[in-house]
Amino acid sequence: MYLAGIGTRAADDPHGAAIRDARGVLTWSQLAEQLRGAAAALSALPPGARVGVTGENTVPTLITHLAGLFSGVGTVALHRQATAREFTHELTDTGCALAVIGEGSRAAISEAASDARVVVHPGPEWDAFVSTSPVELELAGRTVRPLLVFTSGTTGRAGATEVQWLRDPSITDARAYVEAVAAEPGFPDGPHLVVGPLQHNGPLTALRHLLAGRPVVVLPRFDAEEVLRQIAEHRVTSTVLVPTHLTRLLALAPDVRDRYDVSSLIAVAHTGSACPEHVKRAMIDWWGPVFTESYGGSEIGTVCRINSADWLAHPGSVGRAVPGLTIEAYDENGVVQPRGTTGVLGITLPPGRAIRFLGDEAKSARAYLATGVATLGDVGHVDDDGFVYITDRVSDMVVSGGVNLYPAECEQVLNRHPDVAEVAAIGVPHDDLGETLLALVVPARAGVDVADLDAFCRTELAGYKCPRSYELVTDLPRNDMGKLDKRALRKQYRALTTTR
């Protein structure tokens, strides 16, 4: 059975460490064996079915996604903190016949309105899953089904979209897709460290590293000193971080920082949200010019990139457009603006490449400013040298700790509470997370307890989607058309910088 670089390493270095997580180490030969079993199990699913995988930072998460690629069966990255209602949405919208989950998701997923069979790890169910008798699979005869991740794009309810790991639309069979991904792992050789949740696009790029036959170290959760310890112990060469990770690393005491050797690092990708200039300069001073910032989205992939040297020369920029794409600022009529003029940032996509949200043509269409010109909903400008600067967002989306939050989701829930007359959720500055959600609530009666509102919200939404703080207000501003004026609210609370 074809296993790309994993098969090569299993033959050449069978006892070498392939993946490490909190539970132990899997060698290359053990990884290959479990992959064969898992791929065989997935290949027995009905045609067109997909497999949902919750994003626990464990070896089984990576194995299941890899098995999906090696069986030609599409996998879906599910949110590990999801409620039963959210699991129902994610499983049914993507046609999942099977869900591979961590123990912590068992209760919520068992209440989801879905017919998907469930495999729980660790435990006997998982052991039986990877012990399925291997079968020979001809990937060249199977249509490629890239990994699906959930994103709301510029606005609204989250939708599933394919990861944009390849830019060649001519690759249509699973074998060619796996070969092409393995040939472009995206990171240098050597151990790659995963610190973010394996339900987001950035951390999931570890799959590309494994496909190339390169080892991966997985932390169960981010811990600043543990990150340094793992880098030093395993001579980690690459990782993906968000700005919140960087601020927490810098918060470590100097003697703790000095305790660990990070000189093995060659490439650190950072993405997810805007990084404060002083934070990035401090990290470059500490770790060296190893940082590359990427700007993009799950539905479109990376559209801009900037290395440390270029960033120091152009502070605040997210870089130039990657090869094959062009980026310009547009006015409200879809007209390209002169360089240096602020407008909605539009990305011209080449023929054959498009933004698509699974089963939602209207949402896909809203991702475009004009034919062939997509947007991620950001406002900014492009300088004379082609460097892109982001200054605002068209949508209300809030980026907190590198995670996209959508105020409309919690507003819809809170508006159903009998004590809420009206609510508006906005992003407010936060020293650690960049931004957090603040709910401004007009109470329907006196004596409303915000703790009750928060508990109500958490019954329907994962905790990270709920407001971090609440304020009771007498009214909310509206514009001349009677529409809630969130721009005015954000301006009013922009000076709010205390940690909530």
The pTM of the full predicted model, rounded to 2 decimals, is 0.86
- In this structure, the answer to whether residues 383 and 488 fall within a common structural domain is no
If DSSP codes are grouped into helix, strand and coil, which group holds residue 230? helix
Tell me which of 270, 301, 318 is where a domain ends: 318
User: Where residue 281 sits, what CATH number does that domain have?
Assistant: 3.40.50.12780
- In this structure, the answer to whether residues 229 and 268 fall within a common structural domain is yes
- In this structure, the answer to whether residues 69 and 158 fall within a common structural domain is yes
Q: Output the CA–CA distances (angstroms, integers) from residue 39 to 69, 387, 419, in the order listed.
A: 8, 44, 51
Domains in the chain, number? 3
Query: Partners of 438 in the beta sheet?
Result: 426, 469
Domain membership of residue 500 (yes or no) is no
Please name the residue that has the structure tokens 């209300």.
396
Q: What DSSP line would sit under 298-360, residue for residue?
A: TTTEEEEEEEHHHHHHSTT--BEEPTT-EEEEE-TTSPBPPTT--EEEEEEPPTT-----TT-
- In this structure, the answer to whether residues 50 and 162 fall within a common structural domain is yes
Contact (CB, 8 A) for 493 and 436: no
User: Where residue 420 sits, what CATH number does that domain have?
Assistant: 3.30.300.30
Report pLDDT for 495. Answer: 62
- In this structure, the answer to whether residues 338 and 232 fall within a common structural domain is no
Report pLDDT for 446. Answer: 93
Contact (CB, 8 A) for 469 and 423: no
Local structure of residue 173 (DSSP, 8 states): B
If DSSP codes are grouped into helix, strand and coil, which group holds residue 155? coil
Tell me which of 369, 395, 421 is where a domain ends: 395
Tell me which of 294, 318, 342 is where a domain ends: 318
- In this structure, the answer to whether residues 139 and 160 fall within a common structural domain is yes
Domain membership of residue 23 (yes or no) is yes
- In this structure, the answer to whether residues 286 and 360 fall within a common structural domain is no
Q: Output the CA–CA distances (angstroms, integers) from residue 183 to 10, 74, 82, 212, 449, in the order listed.
A: 17, 20, 34, 7, 56
Domain membership of residue 498 (yes or no) is no
Report pLDDT for 499. Answer: 39
- In this structure, the answer to whether residues 248 and 188 fall within a common structural domain is yes
* Structural tokens at position 146: 């890239």
Domain membership of residue 499 (yes or no) is no
Q: 195's torsion region: left (phi>0), alpha (psi -120 to 50) or beta?
A: alpha
- In this structure, the answer to whether residues 221 and 119 fall within a common structural domain is yes
Domain membership of residue 293 (yes or no) is yes
C-alpha to C-alpha distance for 453 and 459, rounded to whole angstroms? 10
Each residue's pLDDT expressed in tens, for the chain with a length of 500 residues: 889 999 999 999 999 999 999 999 999 999 999 999 999 999 999 989 999 999 999 999 999 999 999 999 999 999 999 999 999 999 999 999 999 999 999 999 999 999 999 999 999 999 999 999 998 888 888 888 999 999 865 555 678 999 989 878 889 899 999 999 999 999 999 999 999 999 999 999 999 999 999 999 999 999 999 999 999 999 999 999 998 899 999 999 999 999 999 999 999 999 877 788 889 999 999 999 999 999 998 888 899 999 999 999 999 999 999 999 999 999 878 899 999 998 899 999 988 788 888 888 888 898 999 899 999 988 889 999 999 999 777 767 788 888 878 788 899 899 899 999 999 999 998 888 889 999 999 999 999 999 999 999 999 999 999 999 999 999 998 765 456 788 888 888 876 544 34
User: Where residue 333 sits, what CATH number does that domain have?
Assistant: 2.30.38.10
- In this structure, the answer to whether residues 139 and 266 fall within a common structural domain is yes
356: containing domain:
324-395
* Structural tokens at position 334: 């879809």
Domain membership of residue 192 (yes or no) is yes
Report pLDDT for 498. Answer: 43
- In this structure, the answer to whether residues 117 and 194 fall within a common structural domain is yes
Domain membership of residue 40 (yes or no) is yes
Contact (CB, 8 A) for 15 and 222: no
Domain membership of residue 407 (yes or no) is yes
Report pLDDT for 333. Answer: 83
- In this structure, the answer to whether residues 86 and 184 fall within a common structural domain is yes
Backbone φ and ψ of 43, nearest 5°: -65, -15
312 C-beta neighbours (distance < 10 Å), count: 13
